[in-house]
Structure 1
Amino acid sequence: MVAGETSGDLLASRLLSGLRPHLPDASMYGIGGAKMAEYGFVSDWPMEKLSVNGLFEVLAHYREIKGIQVALRDRLLAEKPNVFIGVDAPDFNFGLEAQLRQAGIPTVHFIGPSIWAWRGSRIKKIARAASHMLVIFPFEEEIYRKAGIPVTYVGHPLAQVIPMVPDMAAARTALDLPASGTVVAIMPGSRMSELKYNTASFVGAAKLLAQRDPNMRFVAPMAGDRQRRLFSELLSQAGLQDLPIQLLDGQSHTAMAAADAVLVASGTASLEVALYKKPMVIAYKMMRASWEILRHMSYQPWIGLPNILAREFLVPELLQHAATPQALADALWRQLNDSAHQAMLRQRFTEMHHALLRDTANESAQAVLQIIGRQ
């Protein structure tokens, strides 16, 4: 298996939770994170090596990433595992899967890339790479069936993990936060490149919000020690090291449950916030050259998963030059002070939660077991 970032580690761990009881003695290895390791998965390279985003950012790390891909490919071709499972990380995994499949190794890809949002031509590459697709959104099944690609809709693993009614009081107690008062979660991303480009605007917005409400508390979950160090350095560079932001080691779900609202980078985390039924502002920045290319490649007006699933702007999206501290603070302030909007979001996000809820761990595991003839 290969998962390339924190969200992939979480999603893959749900698959492993369903698979491991059926294969208690199987060797499960490749690239993954701490949550996968809980099920006996052995990561041969640090997952963070693949956690790079943006066209030009990837180019800067291309030689190292390509070296890892080639080394893993050679090992798998020699060992002939029963199955290879690529978890998201499409640019890394599809190239690897195509070579393994050509050599007779079954390949499963878990989490389809957003071909419904941009780069739809990738469906041809997917057809060559994946023996079977496991998809997490209901509308994706038809896309792959029409292309002749075997596919199973397994629901979204996070819909099983996250409670339908989050316990805010318990989360605040766990984080030693006051039971009353406003709490905002600051989540600029788990990738180092995301922290580099998003942190200044996110913490600048927190400073402005703290000026409006001096009693407001902030929590910022960090994906690892490297992320925590970089975030702290960026805080100091901005002269905001005294801002009342409580840094957390992981605990992103606890932070979401405890928060009244969340300032979140676009990606899987925005869907997690929706499943916690929280108001949010979605923001994202990247290298300017990458932005100039990518902004012309989208098929739809939304980038945040909650808005994509709703097919409308349920929550604000502020991207690149629009994601200024002032704009983010103003948008989040409105989210915090519009009770009618909050009630509407809770209803819509609850409906979204039900639509994504399946026994993902078991259904995805059964699909893999069938492929390797162990059902």
Structure 2
Amino acid sequence: MVAGELSGDLIAGSVLKGLKARWPADFIYTGIGGPHMGEQGFNSLWPISKLSLMGYVELIKHIPEILLIRHRLRKRWLIDKPLGFVGVDAPDFNFDLEIAMREAGVPTIHFVSPSIWAWRSGRIKKIKRAVDHMLCLFPFEVEIYKHAGIDATFVGHPLADKIPIVPDVASARAKLGLTGDGPIIAILPGSRVSEVERLAPIFFAAMKLLAVREPGIHFVLPVATSSLYSILQPLLNKYDELSLSVVDGRSHIAIEASDIVLLASGTATLEAALYKKPMVISYKVLWISAQIMKRQGYLPYVGLPNILLDEFVVPEFLQDFATPQALCTAVLKQLQDFGLRDSLRERFTHLHLALRHGTADRSAEIIDHVLRKKKRL
């Protein structure tokens, strides 16, 4: 198995849990993974951080090392063929590896469809060469693959299984030691260093404006790693007048405890939707990366809640539109419009139910079926 970043690690950890319940205890799971996979006994040959890169420009300087890692994995597994290979997200890394494995007779399963429905639809031809079976997080993806002659199954999203339908806000606030009657805003400027470097200064400036316009507001900032904390420390010093709690990781509890979430585009936006939270989404990449991405034919949305509901249900501020003033105004709108908050809660509840599908068991069932069909089990 190869997972390319922490969101994929979360998904792969769920898949491993299902596989371990189904298969003998002496099976070995190895490749590249993160902490959730490690909790299931996964043996990671390289740290997942080697593949967790953002943007075209950032990727270029790391290409030689990434290609060397893929070459070594391919060589290792062509000599000692595994029963099967599961690529989790990271399509640009995994598809070439999957093609080599499949041509050598190793069944290949890919989990998390790349966003061919949003951009780079031409990749469907490469996917057909690479993948025996695609596991889809979202139900509408299956028809796209079946139309292209690729076996695919909707298995739901593990976050939808994990997160309760009705969030326990009081319990989450107690776990974080949050008291008082003022509104609570969760701040999530990203999980990668490059994301935080670009978004955190804008988010902190917006927080200062919010504190002036909404006295009594309190912010919660989850920080997952020491490297991210070192980036944030100068901002914490600069804005030390803010009513702010910095918590060690636990982003899901911070989201559950909040009234509104201000966050970077990514998997966390789906997590916020599953916790039924109003949110404001923002994102910035290098200018040249943005120009390349514009030419790839994106949907008008980047946030998962908007993509899945096919509507701008929550606001997005990208690139130069991501200003402290714009973010502050949008957060206040979400905070003060109770009718909007009720409407979002209802729509996000329907979305949650649609994505709750027993992902761990369903994924393991399909992987088991593919390996048996290919006579590897």
* TM-score, length of structure 1 as denominator length: 0.96
Distance, in Å, in 2 between the alignment partners of 1:338 and 1:211 is 19
Which stretch has the larger CA shift, 221-230 or 246-255?
221-230
Task: Verify the 8 A CA contact 1:3 1:47 in the aligned structure 2.
Answer: yes
| RMSD (Å) for aligned C-alpha atoms | 1.5
1:175 maps to which residue?
176
Distance, in Å, in 2 between the alignment partners of 1:62 and 1:232 is 30
Which amino acid in the other structure matches residue 229 of structure 2?
Answer: R
Partner SS for 1:18: helix
1:73 maps to which residue?
74
- The question of 1:110 aligning with 2:111 is answered yes
Task: Verify the 8 A CA contact 1:197 1:287 in the aligned structure 2.
Answer: no
Partner SS for 1:342: helix
Distance, in Å, in 1 between the alignment partners of 2:217 and 2:250 is 20
2:131 maps to which residue?
130
1:8 maps to which residue?
8
Partner SS for 2:45: strand
Q: By how many angstroms is 1:227 displaced? A: 2.2
Task: Verify the 8 A CA contact 1:208 1:329 in the aligned structure 2.
Answer: yes
Partner SS for 2:22: coil
Which amino acid in the other structure matches residue 311 of structure 2?
Answer: E
Distance, in Å, in 2 between the alignment partners of 1:248 and 1:90 is 32
Residues 238-253 of structure 1 correspond to what in structure 2 (within 5 A)? 239-240=238-239, 243-253=242-252
Partner SS for 1:331: helix
Instruction: Report runs of 4+ in structure 1 exceeding 3 Å deviation.
Output: 233-236, 241-245
Equivalent pairs, count: 373
> Deviation per CA, 1:173-204, whole angstroms, max 9, x where unpaired?
00111153211111111122211221111222
Residues 209-220 of structure 1 correspond to what in structure 2 (within 5 A)? 209-220=210-221
Q: Structure 1 residues 233 and 341, CA, compared in 2 at 3 Å: closer, same or farther? A: same
Which stretch has the larger CA shift, 24-33 or 283-292?
24-33
Consecutive unaligned residues of structure 2, counting only runs of 5 or more, are: none
Consecutive unaligned residues of structure 1, counting only runs of 5 or more, are: none
1:285 maps to which residue?
284
Task: Verify the 8 A CA contact 1:110 1:133 in the aligned structure 2.
Answer: yes
Q: Structure 1 residues 234 and 91, CA, compared in 2 at 3 Å: closer, same or farther? A: farther
Task: Verify the 8 A CA contact 2:206 2:328 in the aligned structure 1.
Answer: yes
- The question of 1:273 aligning with 2:272 is answered yes
2:19 maps to which residue?
19
Partner SS for 2:301: coil
Partner SS for 2:86: strand
What is the aligned-residue identity percentage?
52
Q: By how many angstroms is 1:234 displaced? A: 5.3
> Deviation per CA, 1:61-89, whole angstroms, max 9, x where unpaired?
11222222112222222221111111111
Q: Structure 1 residues 110 and 233, CA, compared in 2 at 3 Å: closer, same or farther? A: farther
Residues 153-302 of structure 1 correspond to what in structure 2 (within 5 A)? 153-178=154-179, 180-233=181-234, 235=236, 239-240=238-239, 243-302=242-301
Which amino acid in the other structure matches residue 250 of structure 1?
Answer: G
Which stretch has the larger CA shift, 168-177 or 183-192?
183-192
Task: Verify the 8 A CA contact 1:186 1:220 in the aligned structure 2.
Answer: yes
> Deviation per CA, 1:200-237, whole angstroms, max 9, x where unpaired?
1122211211222342221122232222222325555x
Distance, in Å, in 1 between the alignment partners of 2:150 and 2:234 is 46
Which amino acid in the other structure matches residue 7 of structure 1?
Answer: S
Task: Verify the 8 A CA contact 1:306 1:314 in the aligned structure 2.
Answer: yes
Partner SS for 1:159: helix
Task: Verify the 8 A CA contact 1:131 1:150 in the aligned structure 2.
Answer: yes
Partner SS for 2:300: coil
Distance, in Å, in 2 between the alignment partners of 1:316 and 1:2 is 33
Task: Verify the 8 A CA contact 1:232 1:241 in the aligned structure 2.
Answer: no
Partner SS for 2:121: coil
Distance, in Å, in 2 between the alignment partners of 1:172 and 1:310 is 29
Which amino acid in the other structure matches residue 20 of structure 2?
Answer: R
Q: By how many angstroms is 1:241 displaced? A: 5.0
Q: By how many angstroms is 1:303 displaced? A: 1.1
> Deviation per CA, 1:313-339, whole angstroms, max 9, x where unpaired?
100010000001111111111111110
Q: By how many angstroms is 1:275 displaced? A: 0.5
Which amino acid in the other structure matches residue 294 of structure 1?
Answer: M
Distance, in Å, in 2 between the alignment partners of 1:180 and 1:82 is 56
Task: Verify the 8 A CA contact 2:204 2:235 in the aligned structure 1.
Answer: no
Partner SS for 1:318: strand
Q: Structure 1 residues 372 and 256, CA, compared in 2 at 3 Å: closer, same or farther? A: same
Partner SS for 1:372: helix
Which stretch has the larger CA shift, 362-371 or 239-248?
239-248
Distance, in Å, in 1 between the alignment partners of 2:286 and 2:351 is 32
Which stretch has the larger CA shift, 321-330 or 204-213?
204-213
Distance, in Å, in 2 between the alignment partners of 1:13 and 1:306 is 23
* TM-score, length of structure 2 as denominator length: 0.95
Q: Structure 1 residues 95 and 231, CA, compared in 2 at 3 Å: closer, same or farther? A: farther
1:32 maps to which residue?
33
